[in-house]
């Protein structure tokens, strides 16, 4: 199991890209590290504000794509906010529109969270992950303009006319607006729902998708309430789509990283952030964002392709660097469960058993935040530590988790006394201090 507190960070839409639109921010490994650390800390402490702020930024980012942005003023006029008799009425009509968007997306968060356990098992299947990867590649190519992922125009026109004006009409138009914008909302939702599924928290899933809906609808609300004029559409909308496209390519490779012979560092080194950073910036300079595949000469298309490849490779390298542990912050895990248990019994030592998988976000959170703490690493030296990797969904390893510990899902860490009795069961992210106390209490 690779070490990746940034997996949660990446699965929440590449935070720095979607929340701030500052592509150079992604290239700065120190900023990404701080952001990932803050995000992990917020979730660990039960404060979801920062995570939800990122989700809101993702919704706002989606609103700035060619699928949504050019239609804002037209849509607001259709449900009557521009013709409202007062600012209050305009605000209420706009709010009804935004709630219509939320009515479409929020149930998806609940469904995704409630089916998360089943999705987790599928994530260990190479064919499932390969299928997801190909889907993200297709989405990325659409974002780059190589093909159009749109609903039929006749269906779009019918949906756009649903409801008419008034509060009911505004609500219904908001509901169908999410469907019309599917070519740009789809990629973002796919990543966000994948994250929500990993949490298996229906409440947080619903809240996440509701906040995403608010982000997507905020410009509609502002235009409908205050009758402001938005900047005209232009090349910058295609630049936003290119940013999304690069993120989709990064995710496509990231989802199948366990099945590809990709070089990844176990510990952080200077070269592992310097070279990817250079690749990322070089890709931007070559033309990853500002050039287009559409209506361009061959030379520009080649530059665009080279820039996208360089930026994608650089972004992956930075993510792998963030996924690695600091030097010296690594428990020397054994991999043979039966041998480790026998050794613990024969030597009279406590046993530390860690079940995890590459696709388990909470498992990686535990590894990167709690079990990489130098105090925890030092205390673990008196244990026989064994890690059981469930990344490839091998049934004999799942049987150990199910039969020996009566545990059906991940994450799971068992801390045994010297007698073999289980002293503590860890089934979610905990702080390094709490984990250290559990280890110290095992006798």
DSSP letter for each residue of 313-345:
HHHHHHHHHHHSBPTT-----B--HHHHHHHHH
Nearest to 233 by CA among 69, 20, 63: 69
Strands 351-356 and 384-389: parallel
- Residue 158 CB neighbour total at 10 angstroms: 12
| DSSP letter, residue 231 | P
Going from the N-terminus, what domains does the chain have, and what CATH number goes with each? Answer: 6-323 (no CATH), 337-441 (3.40.30.10)
Distances (CA, A) of 275 to 36, 280, 308, 317, 423: 20, 9, 16, 8, 45
Is 217 exposed, middle or buried (CB count within 10 Å of its CB: 0-12, 13-18, 19+)?
buried
Cα angle for residues 248, 320, 414 (degrees, 5° grid): 110
pLDDT of residue 312: 92
Query: Of 220, 198, 33, which is closest to residue 119 (Cα–Cα)?
Result: 198
What per-residue confidence (pLDDT) applies to 67? 67
Residues 174, 358: Cα–Cα separation, whole Å = 38
- Under 8 Å CB-to-CB from 108, ≥6 apart: which residues? 189, 193, 209
pTM of the entire predicted model = 0.51
Task: For residue 239, list its beta bridge partners.
Answer: none
The pLDDT assigned to 30 comes to 33
Question: What is the tens place of the pLDDT at every residue in 58-87?
Answer: 888 888 876 677 777 767 776 666 666 778
Look at residue 55 in the predicted model and tell me its pLDDT. 84
Dihedral of alpha carbons 317, 271, 365, 406, sign: positive
CA 75, CA 171: separation in Å to the nearest integer? 12
Each residue's pLDDT tens digit, 266-304: 777 888 889 999 999 999 999 988 888 877 788 888 999
pLDDT at 6: 36
| 3-class SS string, 128-147 | HHHHHHHHHHHHHHHHCCCC
Rounded CA-CA distance 183/193 in Å is 16
CA angle 283, 284, 290 (to 5 degrees): 125
3-state class (DSSP) for residue 150: coil
User: What's the half-sphere exposure (Cβ side, CA atoms, 13 Å) at 14?
Assistant: 31
Residue in this structure with the two tokens 């169908």, named with its chain if needed: 176
Please answer whether residues 27 and 318 qualify as being in contact, where contact means their C-beta atoms are separated by less than 8 angstroms.
yes
* 379 in Cβ contact with 440 (< 8 Å): yes
- Cα angle value 230/233/235 (rounded, 5°): 140
What token pair was written down for 378? 């030092």
What is the spatial distance between Cα 32 and Cα 36, in angstroms, rounded to a whole number? 6
Task: Indicate the burial class of 345 (C-beta count within 10 angstroms; 0-12, 13-18, 19 or more).
Answer: middle
Under-70 pLDDT residues of the chain: 1-48, 66-67, 74, 78-84, 115-126, 128, 132, 147-166, 180, 182-184, 186-187, 190-191, 194-195, 198-200, 228-233, 325-329, 361, 393
The closest alpha carbon to 247, from 18, 7, 52, 4, belongs to 18
Give me the residue label for tokens 């995000």. Answer: 39
Give every CB contact of residue 109 below 8 A, 6+ residues apart in sequence.
193, 196, 202, 205, 206, 207, 208, 209, 210
Asked whether the beta carbons of 279 and 337 are under 8 A apart, the reply is no
What φ, ψ does residue 380 adopt, rounded to 5°? -70, -15
Q: Which pair of tokens denotes residue 357?
A: 């998988």
């Amino acid at each position: 199991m690779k070490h990746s507190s940034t997996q949660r960070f990446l699965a929440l839409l590449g935070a720095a890209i979607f929340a701030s639109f500052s592509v150079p921010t992604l290239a700065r490994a120190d900023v990404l590290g701080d952001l990932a650390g803050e995000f992990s800390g917020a979730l660990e402490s039960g404060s979801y504000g920062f995570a939800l702020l990122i989700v809101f930024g993702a919704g706002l980012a989606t609103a700035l794509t060619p699928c949504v942005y050019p239609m804002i003023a037209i849509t607001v006029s259709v449900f009557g906010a521009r013709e409202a008799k007062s600012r209050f009425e305009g605000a209420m009509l706009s709010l009804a529109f935004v709630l219509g968007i939320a009515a479409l997306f929020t149930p998806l968060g609940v469904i995704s969270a409630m089916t998360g356990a089943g999705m987790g098992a599928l994530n260990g299947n190479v064919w499932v992950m390969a299928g997801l990867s190909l889907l993200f590649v297709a989405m990325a190519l659409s974002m780059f303009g190589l093909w159009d992922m749109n609903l039929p125009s006749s269906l779009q026109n019918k949906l756009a006319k649903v409801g008419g004006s008034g509060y009911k009409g505004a609500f219904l138009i908001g509901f169908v607006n999410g469907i019309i914008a599917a070519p740009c909302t789809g990629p973002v939702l796919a990543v966000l729902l994948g994250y929500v599924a990993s949490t298996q928290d229906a409440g947080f899933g619903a809240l996440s998708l509701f906040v995403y809906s608010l982000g997507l609808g905020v410009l509609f609300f502002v235009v409908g309430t205050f009758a402001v004029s938005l900047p005209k559409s232009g090349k910058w909308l295609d630049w936003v789509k290119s940013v999304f496209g690069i993120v989709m390519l990064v995710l496509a490779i990231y989802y199948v990283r366990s099945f590809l012979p990709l070089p990844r560092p176990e510990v952080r080194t200077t070269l592992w952030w310097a070279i990817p950073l250079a690749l990322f910036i070089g890709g931007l300079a070559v033309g990853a964002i500002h050039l287009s595949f559409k209506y361009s000469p061959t030379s520009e298309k080649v530059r665009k392709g080279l820039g996208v490849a360089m930026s994608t490779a650089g972004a992956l390298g930075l993510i792998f660097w963030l996924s690695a542990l600091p030097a010296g912050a690594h428990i020397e895990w054994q991999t043979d469960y039966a041998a480790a248990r026998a050794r613990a019994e024969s030597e009279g030592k406590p046993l530390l058993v860690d079940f995890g998988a590459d696709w388990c976000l909470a498992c990686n959170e535990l590894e990167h935040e709690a079990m990489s703490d130098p105090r925890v690493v030092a205390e673990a030296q008196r244990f026989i530590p064994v890690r059981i990797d469930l990344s490839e969904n091998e049934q004999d390893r799942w049987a150990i988790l199910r039969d020996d510990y009566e545990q059906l899902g991940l994450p799971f860490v068992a801390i045994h006394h010297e007698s073999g009795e289980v002293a503590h069961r860890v089934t979610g992210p905990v702080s390094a201090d709490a984990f250290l106390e559990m280890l110290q209490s095992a006798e």
